[in-house]
């Protein structure tokens, strides 16, 4: 069953149409990538998904139920569908890590003593125990990102939306964040939605994929389906994964009979090895 | 003629010695400079303004929670402004730039409360001003200065003066008002053998050395700032009107 | 941005109860102003300096440098007290400027010196608080003192975003300097104005995103805070009781033996 879905969702800022009849659905316990160039409408879509923005027309369903925009319901939904914002500085408002992580939990009605325990527990899981008593302004960008994720996970959401989780991180930081997500997913069966420009990561971590272009969905399907039709990526200010690009060139220019849909290093390695052993 | 020359020489040496290295705290009355009686008096003088600001802001926040975030970020903005260096003829020096800009953007009411917080942070984070002089500093920089700036700005706008000139004079006079009030506060606390006026003349003239050139610089900078905000920040200006 | 308060995170007594530390700084501060005495000033300055140096894990050089921050104001503020405009019979020395006579008497010098010592020792008290108590703990103490919640939330927010905006400011400033934005007075004024305006527009942009982020975590107009567990510090408690006794003793000694000060 779909945990979130939308039907003909439209949203506009002043005159500008940001989302244009978007049909979107997220199966339970899945990882979905939302791709698209800058200004394609990804962030707007996310804010519509957890009720922070009210669509101009169209509907949003959570667990098959139509979303109602009463303030009580919106608050409930935003705890079930957590968003980790792109810039952790936008999200972390408190100067102590502990206070900031507890914020969502206390807002959900958790008692302070319980919230304290919950903070310790989540910090242990994310590996930020040593940061709890540090001032936020002394943290690195990657550390702030983890704190921001902890602040959302403490609300025990069913869905976590990560807006550009890789932006501004170094390669090691990117790997850490994705390892973290994978681990959390294994433990809690949370559904993950993420937007990213790091296309190389998509085939490694994601099952489903959407491409937005000027507020419209131009592709929906599994990642494997997407990789069979790389033209669509280029049309939407994106590119194919580097490995895949290499395989394409090997086939086109050097006439090696490799698998052009191999998008990860391991798949490419397998394909090249097969080719060599056949010869 | 000769004495005049000597006078200029003294001016120049003085500015060269202190002008280059002037820091923002030149206008903040430092910790321990006021007697308990004056510390309390100036604190009490601020109270009605603060209560009025508190009540009106609280209502606003309840009606529109987003305005809380807006004011908080503006407060942080005001702090950063007060800590940054503005250009002066002697190189750059830091100086509380926020008085006029804050008053024009947020209105004098919101300013009185925000500046109290900003001044407290300055005392603890930067050692500018002090805790016992919080009331006196807030009255000069968060209440008197902004009110003068605000009134001058609105008055000159009404008199159909260009925005640029209105902003310039609002910033200049707001700054000078702050400086005069500070000098008065110091003269009241430290009269010369019981003579407040003599003391006032001394404090006014010594602060004039640094504050008048700085006020002019600040006026120029504020004009540039306001020109850009007016051109590109219409939406922001409209949103801020709610505090006035 | 490096602030004085950053040293509080390395202080040996950072986990002591903030109210205790505030009182430890505030009581001598009030006594200095009330007693108006030179020897009390010198005593407090030395004592506070020593306590801050020992507990603060800060080098003496750094501490002295911090003490120099209010120097400009101090000099500007002391000069008018050192001189008087009207001439006096018991003047020690004087300068004639045009028709004015600036002169200095024994009384003037005494007042100026007293003010200097008082101000510096008062500064040392504030520094003790600033260098030992983190902002979060100060807010907690203010909460105990019944400061309205709205103001505390506002302060928590402002404090956090000071650093965020300062970072933005530094980035723009460096970018401007890299393109010679501050090469002379005129370009400096324009660059500085542009910087402030850009910072303002950025601040406003941020506001929308910050609010969304708050809302998505269930913000309903209130910012709850978690209390920390503070350590008991007997040494600090004992010294808190002893310091006023010492101060008063020094004061009485001065009145008894050194009444000529």
C217 pLDDT above the threshold of 90? no
C70, C189, C203: residue with CB nearest B77? C203
Min Cα–Cα distance to chain A from C28, Å: 29
Arithmetic mean of pLDDT, A232-260 = 86
Count how many domains chain C has. 2
**pLDDT band of A161, cuts 50, 70, 90:** very high
Spatial separation of the C-alpha atoms in residues A101 and A119, rounded to whole Å: 6
Residue B243: per-residue pLDDT: 64
Spatial separation of the C-alpha atoms in residues A259 and C256, rounded to whole Å: 99
Judgement on whether residues C207 and C90 belong to the same structural domain of the protein: no
Q: Does residue B125 form part of some domain? A: yes
Judgement on whether residues C33 and C132 belong to the same structural domain of the protein: yes
Bridge partners of residue B91, in order along the sequence = B88
Q: Does C5 contact B125 at a Cβ distance shorter than 8 Å? A: yes
Judgement on whether residues C156 and C197 belong to the same structural domain of the protein: yes
Report residues of chain B scoring pLDDT below 70. 1-26, 85-97, 241-244
Judgement on whether residues C16 and C132 belong to the same structural domain of the protein: yes
**Tens-digit pLDDT profile for residues C23-54:** 999 999 999 999 989 999 999 999 999 999 99
Q: Does C152 touch chain A (CB under 8 A)?
A: no
Q: Does residue B138 form part of some domain? A: yes
Instruction: Identify the residue among C38, C75, C162 best suited for mutation to test binding to B, counting B beta carbons within 10 A and taking the highest.
Output: C162
**Tens-digit pLDDT profile for residues C62-93:** 999 888 888 878 888 888 888 887 766 677 77
Residue B18: per-residue pLDDT: 44
pLDDT top residue among C259 and B193: B193
Q: Does C200 touch chain A (CB under 8 A)?
A: no
By CB atoms closer than 10 A (0-12, 13-18, 19+), residue C179 is: exposed
**Tens-digit pLDDT profile for residues A207-243:** 999 999 888 999 899 988 888 888 888 887 788 888 8
Arithmetic mean of pLDDT, C179-191 = 79
Judgement on whether residues C127 and C209 belong to the same structural domain of the protein: no
Q: Does A116 contact C226 at a Cβ distance shorter than 8 Å? A: yes
Q: Does B236 contact C118 at a Cβ distance shorter than 8 Å? A: no
For residue C170, which residues of chain A lie inside 8 Å, CB to CB?
none
| CATH number, residue B117 | 1.10.1760.20
Spatial separation of the C-alpha atoms in residues C242 and C235, rounded to whole Å: 10
Spatial separation of the C-alpha atoms in residues A88 and A146, rounded to whole Å: 9
Q: Does C77 contact B33 at a Cβ distance shorter than 8 Å? A: yes
For residue B26, what is the nearest residue in chain C, using CA coordinates? C73
Judgement on whether residues C59 and C107 belong to the same structural domain of the protein: yes
| The pair of three-digit structure tokens given for residue C74, joined into one six-digit string | 């101090």
pLDDT top residue among C232 and B240: C232
Q: Does residue B2 form part of some domain? A: no
For residue B207, what is the nearest residue in chain C, using CA coordinates? C76
Q: Does residue B1 form part of some domain? A: no
Indicate the average pLDDT of chain A: 88
Judgement on whether residues C164 and C221 belong to the same structural domain of the protein: yes
Count how many domains chain B has. 1
Domain assignment of residue C112, given as a range = 1-146+231-261
Judgement on whether residues C38 and C117 belong to the same structural domain of the protein: yes
Q: Does B233 contact C201 at a Cβ distance shorter than 8 Å? A: yes
Question: B-contacting residues of C 72-131, CB under 8 Å?
Answer: 72-77, 79-81, 83-86, 97-98, 111, 115, 118-123, 125-127, 129-130
Q: Does C204 touch chain A (CB under 8 A)?
A: no
Q: Does residue B170 form part of some domain? A: yes
By CB atoms closer than 10 A (0-12, 13-18, 19+), residue B56 is: middle
DSSP category for residue B17: I
Q: Does B75 contact C157 at a Cβ distance shorter than 8 Å? A: yes
Q: Does C76 contact B32 at a Cβ distance shorter than 8 Å? A: no
CB pairs B-C closer than 8 Å:
261
Contacting residues for A255 by C-beta, under 8 A, at least 6 apart: none
Residue with tokens 């007290």: C81
Go through the domains of chain A in sequence order and give each one's CATH number.
Answer: 2-230 (3.40.50.300), 241-279 (no CATH)
Domain assignment of residue B185, given as a range = 29-243
Instruction: Identify the residue among C33, C71, C80, C189 best suited for mutation to test binding to B, counting B beta carbons within 10 A and taking the highest.
Output: C80
Q: Does residue B21 form part of some domain? A: no
- Name the least confident of A75-79, A165-169, B149-153, C124-128: A75-79
Q: Does C201 contact B74 at a Cβ distance shorter than 8 Å? A: no
**Tens-digit pLDDT profile for residues A10-65:** 999 877 888 989 999 899 889 999 998 888 889 899 989 888 888 899 989 988 88
Instruction: Identify the residue among A73, A89, A110, A140 best suited for mutation to test binding to C, counting C beta carbons within 10 A and taking the highest.
Output: A89
Residue A152: per-residue pLDDT: 92
Dihedral sign for Cα atoms in the order A55, A57, A63, A65 = positive
Q: Does B192 contact C86 at a Cβ distance shorter than 8 Å? A: yes
Q: Does C216 contact A99 at a Cβ distance shorter than 8 Å? A: no
Judgement on whether residues C29 and C116 belong to the same structural domain of the protein: yes
Judgement on whether residues C214 and C235 belong to the same structural domain of the protein: no
What stretch of H or E contains A134? none
Judgement on whether residues C96 and C180 belong to the same structural domain of the protein: no
- The count of other CB atoms within 10 Å of the CB of residue A189 is 11
Judgement on whether residues C170 and C137 belong to the same structural domain of the protein: no
Q: Does A202 touch chain C (CB under 8 A)?
A: no
Residue with tokens 């040293």: C7
**Among the listed residues B121, B118, B244, B105, the one whose alpha carbon sits nearest the alpha carbon of residue B170:** B105
Question: B-contacting residues of C 196-215, CB under 8 Å?
Answer: 196-201, 203-204, 206-207, 210-211, 214
């Amino acid at each position: 069953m779909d945990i979130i879905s939308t039907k003909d969702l439209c949203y506009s800022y002043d005159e500008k149409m940001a989302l244009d009849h978007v049909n979107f659905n997220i199966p339970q316990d899945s990882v979905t990538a939302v791709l698209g160039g800058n200004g394609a409408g990804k962030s707007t879509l996310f804010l519509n998904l957890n009720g922070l923005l009210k669509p101009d027309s169209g509907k949003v369903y959570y667990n098959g139920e139509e979303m109602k925009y009463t303030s009580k319901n919106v608050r409930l939904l935003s705890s079930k569908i957590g968003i980790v914002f792109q810039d952790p500085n936008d999200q972390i408002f408190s100067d102590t890590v502990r206070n900031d992580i507890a914020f969502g939990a206390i807002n959900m009605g958790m008692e302070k003593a319980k919230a304290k325990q919950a903070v310790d527990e989540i910090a242990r899981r994310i590996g930020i125990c040593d940061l709890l008593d540090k001032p936020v302004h002394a943290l690195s960008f990657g550390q702030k990102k983890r704190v921001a994720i902890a602040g959302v996970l403490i609300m025990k959401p069913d869905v976590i939306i990560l807006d550009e989780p890789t932006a501004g991180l170094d390669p090691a930081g990117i790997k850490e964040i994705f390892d973290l997500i994978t681990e959390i997913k294994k433990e809690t069966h949370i559904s993950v939605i993420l937007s990213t420009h790091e296309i190389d990561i998509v085939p490694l971590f994601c099952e489903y994929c959407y491409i937005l272009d000027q507020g419209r969905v131009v592709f929906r399907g599994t990642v494997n389906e997407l990789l069979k039709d790389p033209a669509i990526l280029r049309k939407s200010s994106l590119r194919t994964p580097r490995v895949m690009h290499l395989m394409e060139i090997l086939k086109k220019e050097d006439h090696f009979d490799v698998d052009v849909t191999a998008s990860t290093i391991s798949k490419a390695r397998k394909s090249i090895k097969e080719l060599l052993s056949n010869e | 003629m000769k004495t005049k020359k000597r006078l200029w020489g003294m001016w120049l040496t003085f500015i060269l010695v202190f002008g280059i290295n002037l820091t923002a705290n030149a206008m903040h009355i430092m910790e321990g400079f006021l007697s308990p009686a004056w510390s309390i008096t100036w604190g009490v003088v601020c109270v009605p303004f603060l209560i009025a600001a508190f009540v009106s802001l609280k209502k606003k926040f309840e009606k529109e929670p987003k305005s809380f975030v807006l004011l908080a970020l503006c407060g942080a903005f005001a702090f950063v402004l007060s800590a940054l260096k503005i250009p002066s003829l002697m190189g750059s020096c830091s100086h509380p730039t926020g008085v006029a800009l804050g008053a024009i953007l947020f209105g004098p009411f919101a300013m009185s409360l925000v500046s109290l917080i900003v001044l407290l942070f300055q005392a603890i984070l930067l050692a500018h001003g002090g805790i016992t002089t919080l009331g006196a500093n807030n009255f000069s920089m968060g209440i008197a200065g902004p009110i003068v700036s605000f009134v001058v700005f609105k008055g000159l706008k009404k008199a159909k003066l260009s925005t640029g000139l209105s902003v310039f004079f609002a910033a200049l006079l707001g700054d000078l008002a702050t400086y005069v009030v500070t000098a008065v506060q110091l003269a009241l606390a430290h009269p010369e053998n019981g003579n407040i006026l003599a003391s006032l003349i001394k404090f006014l003239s010594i602060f004039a050395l640094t504050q008048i050139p700085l006020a002019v610089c600040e006026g120029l900078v504020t004009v540039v700032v306001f020109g850009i905000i007016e051109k590109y920040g219409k939406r922001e200006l409209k949103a801020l009107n709610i505090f006035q | 941005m490096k602030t004085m308060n950053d040293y509080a995170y390395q202080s040996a007594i950072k986990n002591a109860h903030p109210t205790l530390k505030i009182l430890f700084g505030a009581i001598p501060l009030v006594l200095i102003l009330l007693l108006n005495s030179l020897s009390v000033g010198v005593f407090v300055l030395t004592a506070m300096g020593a306590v801050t140096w020992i507990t603060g894990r800060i080098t003496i050089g750094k501490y002295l440098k911090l003490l120099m921050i209010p120097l400009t104001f101090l000099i500007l503020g002391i000069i008018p007290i050192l001189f008087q405009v009207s001439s006096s019979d018991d003047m020690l020395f004087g300068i004639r400027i045009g028709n004015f006579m600036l002169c200095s008497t024994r009384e003037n010098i005494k007042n100026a010196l007293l003010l200097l010592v008082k101000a510096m020792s008062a500064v040392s008290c504030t520094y003790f608080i600033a260098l030992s108590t983190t902002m979060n703990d100060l807010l907690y103490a203010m909460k105990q003192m019944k400061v309205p919640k709205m103001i505390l939330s506002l302060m928590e927010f402002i404090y956090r975003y000071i650093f965020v905006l300062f970072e933005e400011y530094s980035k723009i400033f460096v970018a401007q300097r890299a393109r010679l934005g501050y090469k002379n007075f005129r370009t400096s004024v324009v660059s500085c104005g542009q910087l402030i305006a850009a910072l303002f527009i950025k601040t406003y942009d941020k506001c929308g995103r910050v609010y969304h982020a708050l809302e998505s975590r269930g913000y309903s107009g209130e910012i709850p805070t978690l209390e920390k567990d503070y350590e008991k510090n007997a040494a600090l408690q004992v010294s808190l009781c002893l310091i006023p006794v010492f101060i008063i003793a020094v004061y009485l000694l001065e009145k008894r033996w050194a009444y000529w000060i």
